[in-house]
Amino acid sequence: TLSDRLADTFKNLRGKGRLSEADIDATAREIRIALLEADVALPVVKEFVGAVKDRARSEEVSGALNPAQQIIKIVNEELVAILGGETRRLRYAKSGPTVIMLAGLQGAGKTTLAAKLALWLKDQGKTPMLAACDLQRPNAVKQLQVNGERVGVPVFAPEPGNGVGDPVSVARASIAEARRTLHDVVIVDTAGRLGIDAELMQQASDIRDAVQPDEVLFVVDAMIGQDAVVTAQAFLQGVGYDGVVLTKLDGDARGGAALSIASITGKPVMFASNGEKLTDFDLFHPDRMASRILDMGDMMTLIEQAEKTFDAEQAMKAAEKLSGRGGQFTLDDFLQQMQQVRKLGSMSKIMGMLPGMGQFREQLENFDEREIDRIEAIIRSMTPGERENPKLIDGSRRARIAKGSGRQVSDVNQLVDRFFEARKMMEQMARGGGMPGMPGMPG
Ligand code: GDP
Ligand code: MG
């Protein structure tokens, strides 16, 4: 996965602090591969990678994240932005029925989606109606009727008695019917062809002109990968649409189509369909899709938590002390760092699920939270003077501290040794810059 490969790329960069041009190029290569593997269209990949490189060059190096995490964060933010940021909600008509028209190739999943969307709208308290305007395929009307029945939503269809025989009149009549029967949303299912076709586009445009939809949704099969771009552009020019619905996300496609379409058309992906069941449907979540495209597991959750947990101010204070401006690194600082580690330790379960966390993960897995309680007890039994200047802690003081904290003298000795080790490490890191890491990590 991308996170594994980036972690490999940055294996030797820990604590380096700043991304060099060579680091950025190496990263860009990995991102490029990941996107191509996800079936993102080449021009989109190029543009995207360029944008990420620009940001990586200009960005301040974060204290909370290692370089791989930092790059992934940038990549993720850019992906989410292109995919539409926040989920775009449906626009409803101010008065009269809201008209939602579906367009797309045959087999994209329009008819299935019509019923799924109707069910979803019902759950939102709407009273939708379906309009069967695919009169191309012999079974299309029947299919919509069957699905409509399954979700308990009426279907308006041409019948011998009702005087509508062509898709445009069915669409128009369905709106009138919705008004009359007080349905507040009409979902217009339309015909598709296997390939892009001028006659089909014309028909869809005619329906659009006749019913003036509040939303035209372009329905596209996520499995068609690169072809999605051509189709999406053709429909944008031929019919026009406001949003995109991705279907068949239950397949093994990584979802590159979402990025390609959103990037090239600038239209938001609004819904996602992920199965044959009529409940396999939801609002589209750009952040989840970004993770899927990059195959990142819960990496983003982890990055967010690491950032939250890491108290930048505290790190600054520690660094200042070490650079000599604010005095020495003390046992109080040491305790604070330990508590920091404890916060991270509670993430060790999530970490277990993550690829490529290497050394970081191992450390946390071997980490015993009770150890911090013991350390805390010992440090709290010291006087402020001893915490400020641990060199004061001689034999008799150690005995007193051990007694006060209910530990052995050997525990106190061990802690003091560990503290001096950590201080040395901190000093080294302060000289080298970069991530403070976790000095004094037990085990
Ligand atoms: P239309 O030609 O655009 O109306 O497409 P249909 O709604 O008839 O769907 C074509 C086929 O795709 C049908 O067999 C559907 O059951 C199937 N289908 C639709 N949406 C999904 C989905 O999200 N996942 C899966 N696995 N199959 C789907
Ligand atoms: Mg259909």
**Nearest atom within ligand 1 for CA of residue 273:** 23
- Distance (Å) of CA 178 to CA 111, 126, 131, 175: 19, 12, 10, 5
Query: Quick one: which atom of ligand 1 is closest to the CA of 247?
Result: 23
Q: How much is the mean pLDDT over the chain? A: 82
Tell me which range, 120-134, 182-196, 294-308, 342-356, is most confidently predicted by mean pLDDT: 120-134
What is the structure's pLDDT at 437? 46
Q: How far is residue 55 CA from its own chain's centroid? A: 19
What gap in Å lies between CA 422 and CA 131, rounded to an integer?
A: 71
In 3D space, the residue among 79, 192, 48, 93 whose CA is nearest the CA of residue 133 turns out to be 192
In CATH, what number does 98-284 get? 3.40.50.300
What the block records as the tokens of 240 is: 């026009």
- Residue among 264, 193, 254, 198 at smallest CA distance from 222: 254
* 104 or 418, greater pLDDT: 104
> Does residue 215 have a pLDDT over 90?
yes
| Binding-site residue positions for GTP | 104-111, 189-193, 247-250
- Ligand number nearest to the C-alpha of 281: 1
Confidence label for 303 from pLDDT (cuts 50, 70 and 90): low
Inform me whether the pLDDT recorded for 211 exceeds 90: yes
310-432 folds as 434 Repressor (Amino-terminal Domain) (1.10.260)
Min mean pLDDT across 136-140, 157-161, 254-258 is at 157-161
| CATH code for the part of the protein at 2-85 | 1.20.120.140
More confident of the two residues 39 and 313: 39
Q: Which helix (H) or strand (E) holds 243?
A: strand 243-247
Q: DSSP letters along 325-339, please?
A: SS----HHHHHHHHH
For residues 38 and 293, give the distance between their C-alpha atoms in angstroms, rounded to a whole number: 6
d(CA 436, CA 443): 18
Test site for ligand 1: of 112, 188, 223, 269, most ligand atoms within 8 A of the Cβ: 112
Question: Ligand 1 test: best mutation among 276, 277, 282, most atoms within 8 Å of CB?
Answer: 276
pTM, entire model:
0.69
Between residues 357 and 24, the one the model is more confident about: 24
Beta strands of 205-267 (E only): which ranges? 215-221, 243-247
The pair of structure tokens assigned to 297 is 């597991």
For ligand 2, the distance from its centroid to the CA atom of residue 245, given in whole angstroms, is 14
Q: What is the mean pLDDT of residues 169-178?
A: 95
Measured N-to-C along each axis, helices 256-265 and 227-238 cross at an angle, to the nearest 10 degrees, of 40
Bigger pLDDT: 196 vs 128? 128
Give the domain ranges of the chain. 2-85, 98-284, 310-432
pLDDT over 70 (residue 321) = no
Residue 357 has pLDDT above 50, yes or no: no
Q: Where are the alpha helices (DSSP H) in 139-197?
A: 140-151, 167-181
Pocket of ligand 1 (CB under 6 A): 104, 106-112, 192, 247-248, 250, 273-276, 280
Instruction: Please tell me the predicted confidence (pLDDT) of residue 301.
Output: 62
Nearest CA to ligand 1 atom 9: 109
pLDDT band, very low/low/confident/very high, at 147 (cuts 50, 70, 90): very high
The yes-or-no verdict on residue 352 having pLDDT over 50 is no
Which ligand 1 atom lies nearest to the CA of residue 105?
3
Q: What is the pLDDT of residue 356?
A: 41
pLDDT at 59 over 90: no
Atom of ligand 1 nearest to the CA of 112: 7
For Cα atoms 315, 317, 321, give the angle at the middle one, nearest 5 degrees. 115
pLDDT of 219 over the 80 cut:
yes
Measured distance CA(296)–CA(391) in Å, rounded: 47
